[in-house]
Structure 1
Amino acid sequence: MRSSLLSGRAFRSARRGTIAMSTKLQLLLITLLVTVLIVDVSSAQRRRKYRRRTTTTEAPVQDEIMNMLEADEIAEEAATAEEAEVILENGRNEVGSKQQRLLQDPCMDKHCGAGRVCKNTEEGTAECVCVELCNQEVDPRRKVCTNYNETLGSDCEVYQARCFCDTDDARCRGPDYQHVHIVYYGECRQMPMCKEEDMADFPRRMRDWLFNIMRDLADRQELSSHYLKMQREAETNHTLRWSNAAIWKWCDLDGHPHDRTVSRHELFPIKAPLMALEHCIAPFLDSCDINNDHKITLVEWGKCLQLDEVSLLFSYFSRE
């Protein structure tokens, strides 16, 4: 009986302990829940405050940046306008200075041909007059042989003689001298006859000479980029060796007017320096004018140098 009573008391005591423990756990959970809610509310308030602070500070910063950029643009426009004004003013000064120099020296913009010089007149204008005195050349290579087989001291004397006749000057040597011109450089001499075997070999020698001249000019960087490219092609491709050199020289001779033909007059730069050294150059160049119209076409030039016409024309039109 007594043991049963003790067992009942122990059961009731254990039950009360369990209930107390459960109550404590519930209180602890409620406390944690309240704490979490308080923390969330505080975080939300801080975020709202941060947003308000960000919103109120970003706008002034952006405005300040835009103001700075606008100020820079205004300053840049002002500097550009000032620079343009300076350039315009310099241009006015340059034009004014040139006009002033022209008033002081009208010959500044006057171009006179060979054998003539510019002279200021009493009226303040410029005119071209014949050269009064040519410089005395001491180098015999500067002497020239004319088409009248007459040796003159320099090319200046040839152009002076033409000018005297063109202007009806009393110093004109005769009406024929109105057409006097240089045949070759050096003193006049009896040219040996060009033998048939020399003439037969001359095209080959001429081709070699043209290619070597083109190569020398390329080495001295005196060729334009276009002809420099042709010269390099000729170095690596032997089929273009002669044709490219021939095209280069033919185009070089075709000067004024640029009409895709070479006149007898335009042959002067190649004929005059070589006449004293190559007695076959004159008859060779004469033979290039196949139809005797005083003009040498590219086809005639190629035949004269014994080049294949198709290859020559292909190289010529490929470069354009």
Structure 2
Amino acid sequence: MKIICKKKNLFCLLIYTKTCATADQEPEVGTNPVQVEVGDFDEAIDVEEETVEDIVDNPCLNYHCKKGKVCEVDEGNTPMCVCQDPSTCPPADAEFEHVCGTDNKTYDSSCHFFATKCALEGTKKGHKLHLDYIGPCKYIETCLDSELNEFPLRMRDWLKNVLVTLYERDEDNNLLTEKQKLRVKKIYENEKRLQAGDHSLDLLAHDFEKNYNMYIFPVHWQFGQLDQHPVDGYLTHTELAPLRAPLIPMEHCTTRFFEECDSDSDKYIALEEWASCFGLKEQDVDKDLII
């Protein structure tokens, strides 16, 4: 997966290989991190396809375990998931494979992290432990109120540009569905659309006020991309991880932003809370837009 850092706009976008562009390179809009390999961040079950012969020889080949667990067979040759020993995880090849947990501890890789979390299942410490962000743990500056207000300005613009880029590159409907493309086409063809670039906060705020309707679908679309495990209309810490993890090291208001999105502090972000965080009007929140 490729990490491309936008100059002066520090949203880091995951593409295909794990290489980071230098600050001197031109800004580039890339693929939404949620749309590519989210396995390193979530705890979803891995899916593999095996032949009938393989399954007979080894029941574990078609038995899927979530991150941090591996399949073993008992005395009756029945497959079951057990916590993986962190020492069996492949060693990290480079620093970018390290991850930081919410315990402020650096783990060699996501494999080491989830194996450790699994061993703590059922404990208070394990319940509170989540993958916080990509890279070694480091000092994250305090997010000031003024900075928090700036965060959604860049985020909204980024979401809109990600969708436009997907629309431009989508030839086989692998990136967007037909219904999604119809929505994005209206944004793409609108002559008033603010083109991707390094814009001032004042311009971003002005464009949101002037071209408000262009931002409604991108905000809903991102919610739908995140709401996957399960699809229930709420975002959990785990579901937010594919978006949060790449951003935190570069956008120090990320954690506070998502914490305050949870306005009722129930550990879940509902669509209404999500939309409000991005400045959408209550009457424009529409579950039917989550295509």
TM-score bracket for this pair, using the shorter chain length: 0.5 to 0.7
* Correspondence 1:229 to 2:187: no
The equivalent residue for 2:149 is 200
Mean alpha-carbon deviation: is it higher for 272-281 or for 174-183? 174-183
* Correspondence 1:252 to 2:201: no
* Correspondence 1:278 to 2:251: yes
Number of residue pairs matched by the alignment: 216
The equivalent residue for 1:264 is 237
The equivalent residue for 1:7 is none
The equivalent residue for 1:297 is 270
Q: Distance in 2 between matches of 1:186 and 1:198?
A: 23
Alignment counterpart, residue 189 of structure 1, candidates 138, 141, 145: 138
Q: In the TM superposition, what whole-angstrom CA distance separates every residue of 1:158-190 from its partner, at most 9, and x where no partner exists?
A: 1111233349xxxxxx97246532111111111
8 A Cα contact 2:133 2:247, kept in partner = yes
Compared with structure 1, are the counterparts of its residues 263 and 166 closer, same or farther at alpha carbon in structure 2 (3 Å cutoff)? closer
Deviation at 1:100, TM superposition (A): 4.6
The equivalent residue for 1:146 is 101
Q: In the TM superposition, what whole-angstrom CA distance separates every residue of 1:78-127 from its partner, at most 9, and x where no partner exists?
A: xxxxxxxxxxxxxxxxxxx9655432221232111112222344533323
Alignment counterpart, residue 219 of structure 1, candidates 165, 168, 173: 168
Letter in 2 for 1:208: D
Q: Distance in 2 between matches of 1:107 and 1:319?
A: 36
Deviation at 1:149, TM superposition (A): 0.4
* Correspondence 1:165 to 2:120: yes
Give matches, 1:34-45, under 5 Å. Answer: none
The equivalent residue for 2:82 is 129
| Cα-Cα RMSD | 2.6
Q: Distance in 2 between matches of 1:195 and 1:164?
A: 36
Q: Distance in 1 between matches of 2:90 and 2:109?
A: 8
8 A Cα contact 1:217 1:223, kept in partner = yes
Compared with structure 1, are the counterparts of its residues 123 and 297 closer, same or farther at alpha carbon in structure 2 (3 Å cutoff)? closer
Compared with structure 1, are the counterparts of its residues 235 and 311 closer, same or farther at alpha carbon in structure 2 (3 Å cutoff)? farther
8 A Cα contact 2:72 2:82, kept in partner = yes
TM-score, normalised on structure 2?
0.66
Letter in 2 for 1:147: T
Compared with structure 1, are the counterparts of its residues 318 and 124 closer, same or farther at alpha carbon in structure 2 (3 Å cutoff)? closer
Letter in 1 for 2:56: L
Deviation at 1:203, TM superposition (A): 1.6
Compared with structure 1, are the counterparts of its residues 231 and 270 closer, same or farther at alpha carbon in structure 2 (3 Å cutoff)? same
Compared with structure 1, are the counterparts of its residues 292 and 121 closer, same or farther at alpha carbon in structure 2 (3 Å cutoff)? closer
Q: In the TM superposition, what whole-angstrom CA distance separates every residue of 1:29-52 from its partner, at most 9, and x where no partner exists?
A: xxxxxxxxxxxxxxxxxxxxxxxx
Q: Distance in 2 between matches of 1:144 and 1:269?
A: 13
Unaligned 5+ runs, structure 2: 1-49, 191-210
Which structure carries more helix by proportion?
Answer: 1
Compared with structure 1, are the counterparts of its residues 139 and 220 closer, same or farther at alpha carbon in structure 2 (3 Å cutoff)? farther
Letter in 1 for 2:165: D
Partner secondary structure for residue 270 of structure 1? helix
Q: Distance in 1 between matches of 2:289 and 2:240?
A: 25
Q: Percent identity of the aligned residues?
A: 30
Letter in 1 for 2:258: L
Relative contact order (alpha carbons < 8 A, sep ≥ 6): 1 or 2 greater? 2
Letter in 1 for 2:252: H
The equivalent residue for 1:87 is none
Compared with structure 1, are the counterparts of its residues 264 and 318 closer, same or farther at alpha carbon in structure 2 (3 Å cutoff)? closer
Unaligned 5+ runs, structure 1: 1-96, 168-173
Deviation at 1:299, TM superposition (A): 2.1
Deviation at 1:242, TM superposition (A): 0.6
TM-score, normalised on structure 1?
0.61
